[in-house]
Amino acid sequence: MKKDLLRINDLTKEEILDILDLGQQLKYETKHSIEHPILKGKTLGMIFEKSSTRTRVSFEVGMLQLGGNALFLSSRDIQMGRGEPISDTARVLSRYLDGIMIRTFFQKDVENLAKYATVPIINGLTDDEHPCQVLADLLTIREYKKKLNGLKVCFIGDSNNMVNSLIFASIKVGMHITVASPEGFTPKDEIIKEARETEKQCEGSLQIVNSPQKAAVDADVLITDVWVSMGQEEEALERNNVFKEFQINDEIMKLAKEDAIVLHCLPAHREEEITAEIFEKHADEIFEEAENRLHVQKAILVKLMSEK
C-alpha cells in the first residue's frame, strides 16, 4: 500500500523521528561525499502552482543526489491548470512517475491527488499545511539543542500554514509550543480542537496567547514567518499595522533563554517580522534550517519511494 505525506498529523512520533534520523544520516553522507543512489532510475514529478526557491531547488537536487530525476511541472505545463480534473491528472501521471510533489493553494487538491494517484504524494505546501518545512525545523532544533522532548518553542506572528504544521509536529515530539498572534489571526478552531485531541496521546502541549512577550519567556526556540504570505499582497498595509508589535527583536530575545535559537522559513522581511540585527545574529541557524530542507526531503523521498 502506498504512503503519502499530506499532513504532519498523519505521522506518528516514531515516523517523524525516523525521517529525522534518516535525514541526519543522508546529511552526513552528503557532507562526506558518500554517494547514496537509493532512488536510481526513479522520477519525481514536481507540480508548482505556487513558486518557491527552496522547495524547487531542494527537491530537484535531492532527487539527483539520490540517483533519480526530477521533472518540473508548472500549471502552464500540464492540463490540470487548464481544467482537467485532478483525478485524471493523478491517474495519468501515476503511469509515468514514481512519486509526485505538489505545491499548491488548497489542501483538498492535495488530498484528491493522493486519492486517485497510485504513486506517493508529497505536500510541498498548501494554504493549510507546510509539513516538509516543519520537519526541517525539527531537524535543525535537534541539531542545536541535542533533543526535542521538553523544549519550549514559541512562534510569533500570523497563524498560517507553518503554524498549523508546527503545532502538530511539536506536540507529537514532546515539545511545548506557544503561539502568539493578534486577535483574529490565531489558529482556526478546527486546528485547536484537533491539537487538543493530539495532546491526549502525546507529551507535548499547545498554548495560544496574544502577547509575544508572554510567549517568549524562557523559550528555547523562537520562530517567525512573514506577515504577508503569497496571495495576501493586497492586505499588506493592514497586516503590517496589525502585526507591528509581533516582531522578534532584541527586547523579545531578552525574555527567552540565553542560548535560545531563532528560526525563519524564509524569505525574511527584515524590520518587519524580525529585525536585521536579530536575523544576522542567528543567521547560522536560519540558513542551516534552509539547508536541512534538502536532507529531510531526501529522507521523505526515500521513505515513500524506495519500495515502489
- Known binding residues for L-ornithine are 161, 225, 229-230
CA distance 68 to 297: 14
Roughly how many angstroms between the first and final C-alpha of the chain, as a whole number?
Answer: 10
- Known catalytic membership, residue 196: no
Neighbours of 146 (CB within 10 A): 7
- Can you give the C-alpha Rg of the chain in angstroms? 19
Q: Is 265 marked active-site?
A: yes
Give the distance between the most distant pair of CA atoms in the chain. 55
Task: Given the residues 133, 142, 154, 220, select the one marked as catalytic.
Answer: 133
Amino acid at the residue 127:
D
CA dist list (Å): 151 to 115, 259, 283: 36, 12, 21
- 295 catalytic per annotation: no
Q: To which residue does cell 498549523 refer?
A: 164
Q: Which of 220, 264, 265, 282 is catalytic?
A: 265
Joined grid coordinates for residue 6: 499530506
Question: Which positions make up the binding site for carbamoyl phosphate?
Answer: 52-55, 79, 103, 130-133, 265-266, 293
Distance CA 114, CA 122 (A): 9
CA distance 156 to 262: 11
Which residue in 225, 264, 282, 297 is the catalytic one? Answer: 225
Looking up cell 519500495 gives 307
Catalytic: 82?
no
Spatial CA neighbour of 26 closest among 39, 9, 7, 42: 39
Numbered residues of the known binding site: 52-55, 79, 103, 130-133, 161, 225, 229-230, 265-266, 293
Q: Which of 130, 142, 282, 295 is catalytic?
A: 130
Catalytic residue among 7, 103, 176, 264: 103
* Site of grid cell 491517474: 91
Q: Tell me, yes or no, if 133 is annotated catalytic.
A: yes
Cα–Cα nearest to 133, from 300, 289, 304, 301: 289
Check: CB of residue 274 under 8 Å from CB of residue 246.
Answer: no
* Residues involved in catalysis: 103, 130, 133, 225, 265, 293
